[in-house]
Structure 1
Amino acid sequence: MVKYPQHLVFGLDIGTRSIVGTVGYKERDKFNVVAQYVKEHDTRAMMDGQIHDINKVGETISIVKKQLEKQIGRQLSQVCIAAAGRVLRTVTVTTEYEFGEETLINQEHIYSLDSLGVEKAHDVIRANNDTGINFYCVGYTVVKYYLNNYIIGNLENHKANKIGAEIIATFLPEEVVSGLNTAVGIADLEVANLTLEPIAAINIAIPQVYRMLNIALVDVGAGTSDISITKDGSIIAYGMIPRAGDELTEVIARHCLIDFKTAEKIKFELGTRKKTITYKDIMGNKIKVEQKELQDMVRPMVEEVTKEIADKIIELNGGKTVSAVFVVGGGGKISGFIESLSVFLGLPKERVALRGEEVLGDVNFFQENIKKDPLLVTPVGICLNFYDQKNNFIFVNFNGERIKLYNNNRLTIVDVAIQTGFPNEELFPRRGKELNFTINGKKRMIRGQLGEAAIVTLNGNPVGINTRIEANDKIQIIGSTAGKDAELTIEKIPEYHNTIDIIVDGKKVKCPQYAQVNGQIVSNYYNIQENDDIVMRNYYTVAQILAFMDIEIEQDVELFVNNNPADLDEKVYENFSISLKKINDVDFMEEVSCVKEVSQDMEQSKMDKIESDVIVQDSSKANQSEPTQISLDVTVNNKLVTLKGKSKYVFVDIFDWIDFDLRSSRGREIVTLLNGEKAKYTQELNSLDVIEIYWKE
C-alpha cells in the first residue's frame, strides 16, 4: 500500500444529491488527489442544499470516510467542508488601519486588517438582523486593498502610514452551519475548515489572472445554483438561487412516472449521444423513448431555471450582463443548459462554457480512470481552501455548551465570553454602589468595595480570562460577584476631629464635633446617604454647650465668653472659655466699683511716681509742672458728655457722668459698646468716642 508522508487534507462536498470525498496534499503549485469517493444519498436527506435528515447524512459521510481511509491506509479525524448559500447574506465593508509612523507592511498587518473587516461586517449583520437568527461568517474575500488611500494589488512589503481594504463577507444562519457540523460529528470528524461553496469553486475555476475580466461562475448542484462574480481583479459579489438540477429530475420523474433515482439517471443520459432511452415505470412497464422527446419535455424547466440564474447574475453585476460565464457542477451538464443561459444573458454561445478539465490542469489524480469534469471542481476547491486558512472555525465547550468560533489564531477566553453573550461585567470583580455627597461645599465620592473575581478554568485548571484557547477546549466561567455598597459615617470623614475642647467655669469640657446634614444636626454615628449635603462645624453656640451640659440659665445669671459679656448665640471655638455668673445688684455694683478702684489706683500710682521723681530730681527741674488734667468729650446714648478731673479716662468712668441705674438689671444682660464694638471696662477712651449702654431685653 502506498504511504503518504505529507499532511493530507480531507475535503467533503456535501451536496443535495451526493457526497464527494477528496483527500490530497499541495506540492508547490499543484494539488495531488490521492483518494476520492462519491456516494449518493439513499433518500432525499438533503433538499436545496439544506440538511433535512442529519442522521442519514451523517451515516453517508461515515461510509465515504471509511472508503477513503481504506484507500489511503490511515484514519481521518479532521475534515474541510463547504456550505451552500441557501440563505446567504453578504455584507460589503471598508475598513482602515492607521499607523503611528510609516511602517513596512507584513502578513500580520494584512491579516489584522482583514479581521477588522470581518468584525465590522459582523456588526453590520447584527445591527440589521431582526429575525432572531444567529448568523456566522463562513467566508470573505478582499475586493480591493488600499495603500495610503490608493488602490493596490498586494500590500505586503510596502511602506505606508495607512492601509485599508474593501471586503465582502458572507454569512449563513446558525442552523445551516450547525447541521453540517453535527452531521460530520456523527462520522467522528472535526471541522478543520469551513468555507462557502462558491468561494471554494471560484478559487479553482477562475484563476487570479482571469479576474480582471467581468466573469460569472455558476456552480449548479442538485438543490442550489451558487454564483460569484469577478471584476477588476477581485471577487465583487456572491449570490445563489435555490433551484438547480433537482428541478429537472422532478419534471422527468413526474412525466415518466418513475422514482427520483431512476429520473436522475435519465437526466444525465440526456447529455449523452444516446438516441433512445429505456426505463421501467412504477407500473412495471418497460418504456423506450426518443431522447429528443425527453429533451423537449424538460426544456421549459431548463429555461425557467436558467432565466432565474441569469436574472441573479445581472442583479449581482449592477444591473448589466457579464462578459462571460463559467459553469461547474453536475447540474450544468444537462442538455441545453449552457445554450439557454447564454440566451437569457444576451451572450454568444461560446461565452458560456462548462469548466472541468480546463481548470483542473494543475490537479493530479493518483487514481486511475478519473475523468476531470465539472463535478470535481468544488470538492478540490474545498481542499485547496484549507491552505488559505481565512475561514477557519473551531469548536469549544463553554459552560457545558458547544460553541463555534471564527478562528483568527489569537482566540482567548474573553472572545468566547463575548461570542456567547456572557455579561461583560461578570468577567471582572465588581464594585458595590458608590456613595456621592458634598462636604463643606466640595463634592466627594466613595467607591464601593470590590467583589470576588470571576472563577475561570480551562480544561479543569484555573487560568486568566486572556488565556489563549484551542479547538475542543473545555472552558468554565463562574461570574464575579459585586462588593458591598459604599458606606461611611460622619466620624470617618477626615474633616471630623472628634472633640472640641471648651473651658466652662474653669473646667475643660470635651464637646463632640457635630455635623449638619441637609440642614439638620446629626451625630457622628450618622450613616451618610446618597447626595447628602454635609457641613462640619468647628464651633458651638453658647446655647448648644449649655444644652450639652444640661445647664439651664436662670434670670439672674450673666454669660461671659473669654471674659466678655455674651449672649446665647455667641459662637464658641476651640479653647474658648465660658463663664456663668449669678449677679445680684450688689455683685454688679461691686464689679463696677472694683473696676473703678483699679482705674483710680492706676491713676494714683502714676501721680505718686511723678511726685517721687520730683523729689530726687535736680533743682533745675524742681519747678517742672505736674500732669495736666484734661476734659474729654464723648457721646453716650446719643448725648454729649464731658468728662473732667483726670489726665486719662477709661470706659468705667462713664458711669460717674451719666444717669444709669445699675441696680435695675432684673436678670437682664447689660450691653456696653464703644464705637460699635463690645467694650472692656478698662478700655481707654478718646475724644469723640461713641458709647452705647443699655439693658438687653
Structure 2
Amino acid sequence: MQEKDDLIFALDIGTRTVVGVLLEPTADDRLIVKASEVIEHKNRSMIDGQIHNVEEVATQVEKIKTSLERKCDTTLNKVGIAAAGRALKTVTGHCQLEFDNKREVTTSDVQTLEFSAVQNAQEKLVSKGDQAEGYHFVGYTLLQNMLDGMKLGNLVGQSGKKIEVDLIATFLPRIVIDSLLTVIRQADLEVDHLTLEPIAASNLIVPRRMYNFNLALVDIGAGTSDIAITKEGSIIGYAMVPVAGDEITEAICQSYMLDYHKAEEIKRKLLVEDKVEIKDILDQVTTVATSSVIKMIEDEVESLAQQIADEILSLNQQQPQAVICIGGGSLTPLLKEKLAKKLELPVNRVGVKDCQEVNEIEGTIDGVTETQSITPFGIGITCYKNNKQVNFIDIEVNGDLIHLFTLRKPKVSDALLAAEIDITALKPNPGLAISVEVNGDLKVIRGSLGTAGRLLVNGTEAELEDEISHGDQLTVELGEQGENAYGVIADVVPELPSRKIYINETEVVLEPIYYMNEKPVSADTELKDRANITYTLPQTVKEVVEQILEFPVEQIKKRKISYTFNGAEREYQYQNYRILLNGKEVSLDQEVDSGDHLSFEEVNKSDLKIKDLLDEVKVNSTINVTFNNQPVEVPLVDFQLLKNGKTAQLEDQIFTGDEIVYQPGTVQLNQLLSHINYELPTNINGRLIIEKNGQAAQLIEPLEDGDQVKIYVEDKRSDIKVEDSMKKKKKEGNSLERLQQRLQIKLLD
C-alpha cells in the first residue's frame, strides 16, 4: 500500500459510535467520499463525549483505520479530529487602557487591549476554582468596543484617552484534547488538524454569509449537545449541555428492562414504524405501539429541550432568530416542537439539518443518518480548508515548553496567552503619579515613563500578530516599571516673597507657612498622594502671633463684664495684651508690612471697679462754696452710690450681673444756711440782699461746687458777718466747736 497525500481522513469519535471517512478533493474544491466505516463502542468507553477508556477507544480507531486502508489500498498516517466540547467554557472578559493624554489609537493598542481582556477571562476561570493551565484558549469574539465611554465598531485610528473592550473567550479542558491525542498516537496516527465539533458542523451547514443572522446551531449527539451562536458576522460563543440522546435511551432501558443496545434500536424505529417488538432481559417478548414509547419518553425529551433552551438563552442573552439541529439526537421525537416552545419560537424556526443540500460533499456514509454525517463531513471540510495551518504545536517561551492549541495559524499572542504572560507588561508602564490639592487646585507630579518590553522569535524582533511554527523559541522581555513620582511641598506651591519685621525689637523674617492634611510642614517635606496642601504668608498681627510666635491667639482677646448702671445694661470690654504697631495700639486684624515694629505688652488690669465706671463723672458727696467770703464744705442732699442695693465705695469691684446705682445729690441755698445754722436777720434798716456769684438769688436756688454766696443789707452797705451769728449762738450756750461737730462741717481757711 502507498500513502496518498491528497486523501483526507476525518474521524468523529462520538459517545456511541466512531465514524471514519476518507475524502478526496476535486478540482472544483469539492470532496468525494472514497470510503467510510462506522463502529459502535462495545462498552461505555465514552461518556458524555469524554474518553473514559483510552485503550478501548484506540482499538476502535485502529479498526477503522485498518478498514479504510484496506478499502482504498493506501496507508493512513494523519487524521483530522474534533473535540466534542465537553465542559467547554465561555467566559466574558473586560479590559480598559487609559493613556496619559488624548491620542490616536494604534493597532498595537487594540491588540494589547483584546489580549488583556482574554487574560481577564482567564483570571475569572481561575477565580471559579479552575486552574488556567488546565484549559486551552480556543478563541474569542468581540462584544463591544468603547472609546471614552462611547460604543464604536473599530477603535483603530480613533482619538481618545480611554479605550475599553468586552469579549467572550472560549476555553477547552486540556484533558479532552490530551485524551484524544493519546488515542490517536496509540492508533499509530498523528493529528493533521484538530477543531471543535460545533465549528466543524457550522463550516458545513452554515455558510459564512449566514453568520449575520442570530442562529443557534445545536449538535445533539449521544452524550452531549454542543451549541454555537452566530451573530453579526461571526460565531460569538460556544456552550455544551451534558445531556443528549443517551438520556432518552436510558429512559427506554429503565421502562422496558432492556440493555443499552436494544434500547438504541427501538429509539431509532420510533419515527419510522408504528409498532416495535421488545425483548426484555428476561427474554419476554412483547409488541408495543411506538406512540406509547414516545409518550413514555416525553418527560425526558422535555427536560432535554429545557436544558438546551436555557443554555442558548444564557449564551445569547435573548431568543435567537432560528435554531438549526444536527446529530443523531436531533431526530428524537417531540424534541423540535418542545425546543421551539421553550424558546417561544414558531415550530418552523427550529429545523433539523442533514447533508442532502450540502454541495461541498459528494457521497454518503453507510450506517449513519444524513444528519449524523454532518459532524464527520464537517471535520473533513475544516481539515481540507486548513490543511496548511498546523494548530497543535510545541514551542518554548523563555525556556519553558508550551503545548499550544489554536483554531487558526498560531501567533505570538497565542503563545503568550498559553504561557500566562501579562501582555500589558510589554507596554512601558509609567510609575505611579502623585496628585495633591493645593489651596483647592489639583496638582499632579507624574512618575517616569518606564521602558517597553521586547518580543523575540528565534532571536528576531517580533510583534504580537506574527505567526509562529512548531519548535520556535520565544523570548519575552517585559517592560521596566517607571519610577514612582516624588516631590516635596516646594514643588507644588508658588514662590512667595519673605518680609522682615521686628517683634519686640527682635528681627524676624516672615516666611510662607505650609500645611499638609492640616498639619504644619516645611517646604522640603515629602508629598503624600491625595494630600490636601494649603499655604499662607502671614499678613495680619493675628497670623504673626499664631504662625510665627506660636502663641495661642485665644489668649489675646477682649474680655467683657455685663452689668447695669442706673437701670441701663452695659458691657465693659478690656484686652489682656496691648498690641503696638509702630508705636500705635492696633487690633489683631491689622496688617503688617516689611520693616514694621511690633510689640506686645501684657495688661495686668483685669478688674472693673466702680471708680473705673465713673471715671468721667465727678463723684462728690459734698461741695465747696464761699459764704460771705468764708469757705464752707456743704454735704449734698439725696446722694447715692449703691451696688446691688447696698452702699458702695469707689474701690468696689464690679462683676457680671451687678446692678450699680449712682445719684449725685443736690444742695440749695437755704440748705447751705441751715447747714451753718445761719438765721436771716429780721430787724434790719434797709433791704436784705441775697446773691449767688454776684447775681440776685432765691433761697431755693441750687448750688454748685465753687459758687459764691453773699447776704447783706443794702442800706448799711456792710456785710453781715458769720462771726456775728456765731456770737449769737454762743449766748444761747453753744460753742462753735460743738456746733461744727454736730453738723459735721468744717470751715475752710
TM-score, length-scaled by structure 2: 0.49
Q: CA deviation at 1:278?
A: 1.1
Rate the CA distance shift 1:404–1:354 in 2: closer, same or farther, 3 A: same
Distance 1:325-1:187 versus aligned 2 partners, 3 A rule: same
SS in 1 for 2:281: coil
Match of 1:140 in 2: 139
Distance across 1 between alignment mates of 2:334 and 2:271: 9
Q: 1:325, 1:351 within 8 Å by CA — same for their partners in 2? A: yes
Letter in 1 for 2:7: L
Measured after TM superposition, the shift of residue 351 of structure 1 is 1.1
Q: What secondary structure does 2:81 align onto?
A: strand
Which residue pairs with 1:46 in the alignment? 46
RMSD: 4.6
Q: Does 1:314 align with 2:323?
A: no
Which residue of the other structure, out of 375, 379, 384, is the alignment partner of 2:381? 384
Letter in 2 for 1:67: S
Alpha-carbon spacing, 1:261–1:127, altered in 2? closer, same or farther (3 Å): closer
Work out the CA distance in 2 between the residues paired with 1:349 and 1:249: 25
For residue 55 of structure 1, report the CA deviation from its aligned partner.
0.9
Partner of 1:180 in structure 2? 180
How far apart are residue 56 of structure 1 and its match?
A: 0.8
**Structure 1 residue 375 and structure 2 residue 372: aligned?**
yes
Task: Please report how far the alpha carbon of residue 220 of structure 1 lies from its aligned counterpart in structure 2 after TM superposition.
Answer: 0.4
Pairing 1:241–2:238 present: no
Q: Does 1:363 pair with 2:360?
A: yes
CA contact (8 A) 2:354 2:373 kept: yes
Please show how residues 292-691 of structure 1 align to structure 2 within 5 Å: 292-318=291-317, 320-357=318-355, 360-366=357-363, 373-386=370-383, 387-388=385-386, 392-395=391-394, 404-406=403-405, 419=419, 471=470
Q: Residue 23 of structure 1 aligns to a residue in which SS?
A: strand
Equivalent-residue separation in structure 1 for 2:398 and 2:19 (angstroms): 36
The 8 Å contact of residues 113 and 165 in structure 1, kept in 2 or not, is answered as: no
Answer whether contact 2:29 2:360 (CA < 8 A) is retained: no
Q: 1:188 to 1:290 in 2, by over 3 A?
A: same
Cα distance per residue 1:436-480 (max 9 Å; x no partner): xxxxxxxxxxxxxxxxxxxxxxxxxxx979999865x699x9xxx
Q: Alpha-carbon deviation of 1:216? A: 1.0
Q: CA deviation at 1:267?
A: 0.7
Evaluate the alpha carbon distance shift between residue 400 and residue 123 of structure 1 in structure 2; reply closer, same or farther with a 3 A threshold.
closer
User: Structure 2: which amino acid aligns with 1:40?
Assistant: E
Structure 2 Cα separation of the partners of residues 78 and 21 of structure 1? 12
Q: Answer with 169-178 or 328-337: which moved more.
A: 169-178
Q: Which has the larger radius of gyration?
A: 2
Cα pair distance change 1:276/1:399, threshold 3 Å? farther
CA distance in 2, matches of 1:210, 1:9: 26
Could you tell me whether the CA contact under 8 Å between 1:332 and 1:338 is conserved in 2?
A: yes
1:13-47 per-position Cα deviation (integer Å, ceiling 9, x unaligned): 21111111233255555333333221111100011
Matched, 1:269 2:266: no
| Aligned 8 A contact 1:86 1:242 in 2 | yes
> Given that residues 118 and 140 in structure 1 are in contact (C-alpha distance below 8 angstroms), is that contact kept between their aligned partners in structure 2?
no
Change in 2 beyond 3 A, CA 1:11/1:121 = farther
What is the alpha-carbon distance in structure 1 between the residues aligned to residue 190 and residue 114 of structure 2? 24
Task: Note the C-alpha offset of 1:397.
Answer: 10
The 5-angstrom pairing of residues 203-218 of structure 1 reads 203-218=203-218
Unmatched runs of 5 consecutive residues or more in structure 1? 422-462, 478-697
Contact 2:86 2:224 in 1 (8 A): yes
The 3-state SS of whatever aligns with 1:134 is helix
TM-superposed deviation, 1:111: 13
CA apart distance, 1:133: 6.3
Counterpart AA for 1:376: S
Amino acid at match of 1:364: I
Alpha-carbon offset, residue 330 of structure 1: 0.3
Q: Which residue of 1 aligns with 2:201?
A: 201
Contact 1:228–1:238 under 8 Å retained in 2: yes
Tell me what 1:11 maps to.
Answer: 10
Question: Percent identical across equivalent pairs?
Answer: 34
Question: Could you say if the C-alpha distance between residues 415 and 325 of structure 1 is closer, same or farther in structure 2, counting changes exceeding 3 Å?
Answer: closer
**C-alpha separation in 1, matches of 2:51 and 2:225:** 16
Question: What is the alpha-carbon distance in structure 2 between the residues aligned to residue 9 and residue 112 of structure 1?
Answer: 35
Structure 2 CA distance, aligned partners of 1:71 and 1:196? 28
DSSP-derived class of the 2:243 partner: coil
The alpha-carbon distance between structure 1 residues 270 and 58, as it changes in their structure 2 partners (threshold 3 A), is: same
2: CA distance, partners of 1:110 / 1:37: 50
Q: 1:523 is matched with which residue?
A: none
Most deviating of 189-198 and 300-309: 189-198
Work out whether residues 203 and 381 of structure 1, in 8 Å CA contact, stay in contact via their aligned partners in 2. yes
Aligned residues: 424
- 1:80 and 1:395 map into 2 onto residues whose CA distance is 18
- Give distance in 1, aligned partners of 2:36 and 2:71: 8
Q: Deviations over 1:311-340 (max 9, x none)?
A: 22122221x322211100001111111112
Aligned pairs for 1:15-164 (under 5 A) are 15-27=14-26, 28-93=28-93, 116=115, 120=119, 123-124=122-123, 128=127, 130-132=129-131, 134-137=133-136, 139-140=138-139, 142-143=141-142
How has the CA–CA distance of structure 1 residues 420 and 35 changed in structure 2, closer, same or farther, with 3 Å as cutoff? Answer: farther
Shift in Å, 1:8: 2.9
Unpaired runs of at least 5, structure 2:
422-457, 476-749
